[in-house]
Amino acid sequence: MEDIEEEVNYWTSSVVCYVLGTNPPLLVFEGFCRRMWKNLGIDKMAIIGHGIFIVRFVTVEQRNQVLNNGILFFDKKPLVMKSWSAQEDFRKESFQKVPIWVQLSNLDLKYWGERSLYKIVSQIGKPLQIDPITKAKEKLNFARVVIEVSVDQDFPHLISFVNEQDKQMDVIVQYEWKPSLCSVCKGLGHEDIQCQKQQGKQVWVPKNTGVDPTKKAKAEIDKDGFQLVIGKGKKNDGEMTKERSGVRLLEVTKFSFQVLGEASSGVSRDEQDRAITEGGGAPLVRRADLWEDLRCLRSMSPWVLLGDFNATINIEERVGVKVRTLHSEAFRECMIDCELEDVHYNGCFHTWSNNQDPPDRIVAKLDRVLGNST
């Protein structure tokens, strides 16, 4: 025991946590924790397993305060938290019941009290807590409640109750996240068809070139003794190679990167600046389409994306009085879904400027390299 006592004492004030249904990158999750627990003395954060994080606080009292603050959600998915213990093997557990947020629309304001809301949502699951904004009646377009549900139950989008006048009232239910159970990886939050571990069988089909393979074309040799080679391997629009005595002198290679999105041609620099400052960049780069394409391309194998994404991850990446953060949330959610991390680099942190004098100057980190942890 004396051999490990120092390390045990060091990690005693730590919390081990993970998010059900997703494995966020460390940088994204660290930003979330420091925002939620900014006044509670976070000392260190690290990954101790796939999607499992350890957060060390300065004191045990600060750790206990985090654990006693109630249910937390990351990207609308429940966050599982436990105090670190030297005897426990921290792995993701199987859950039969999980907390989720539901929104109740088309509900008269007189039913927004806690007793009424709890009775209404009890048709779906066990009520746990009401959103503080709903309780304070600050936003009245829908009521928001946390309920505990089973992972294999039905999730109706319309529920009914009989009011005080014996009249049936219909309530529209929206689920911010549903704990769909994947039969392939046994994970939560996605269907079988969306599972990254779903392996499809590739079937190779011979390309029909219209040329009879039994007939060999006569080789053409130029005056220097080179043979012209057309159509061998991958080429771009008629690019050719030359061979001499079986040795290829020039070969067109297939690069392992692809342009996924770019700005429309003819866009002025002023329009690009206005897109950054006013949040109007969507017409220039179809970002919603790009984020969705990235989700379709996500891979369990190592992969890297790099370039100008014209979007930021957090508010610290933009500096300027006219700055807005319209596109940060969608970009951050895409990174989480694809399990991508922002690769650290040396040099200037901000990569773009509008070249204006203060106080109109704006700088932002728009260019970055993203990669997964595989």
Query: Using an 8 Å Cβ cutoff, are 74 and 19 in contact?
Result: yes
Ordered DSSP codes for 225-292: SPEEE-SSSS-STT--EEEETTEES------S------PPTT--HHHHHHHHHHS--TTTS-HHHHHH
Q: Model confidence over 189-230: pLDDT tens digits?
A: 666 666 666 655 445 556 565 656 555 555 566 666 655 555
Mean pLDDT of 3-15: 90
**CATH superfamily, region 5-83:** RRM (RNA recognition motif) domain (3.30.70.330)
What pLDDT score does 327 carry? 54
Q: What are the pLDDT digits (tens) for 119-156?
A: 999 999 999 999 999 999 888 889 999 999 998 889 99
pTM for this predicted structure: 0.52
- Please report the pLDDT score of residue 225 as a whole number: 60
| Least confident interval from 41-50, 83-92, 121-130, 257-266 | 257-266
CATH number of 97-194: 3.30.70
Cα three-residue angle 158-163-168, rounded to 5 degrees: 45
8 A C-beta contact, residue 332 and residue 28: yes
pLDDT at 330 over 50: yes
Domain ranges of the chain: 5-83, 97-194, 217-254, 269-372
- Report residue 96's pLDDT band, with 50, 70 and 90 as the boundaries: confident
**Same fold? 5-83, 97-194:** yes
For residues 171 and 158, the answer to whether their CB atoms sit within 8 Å is yes
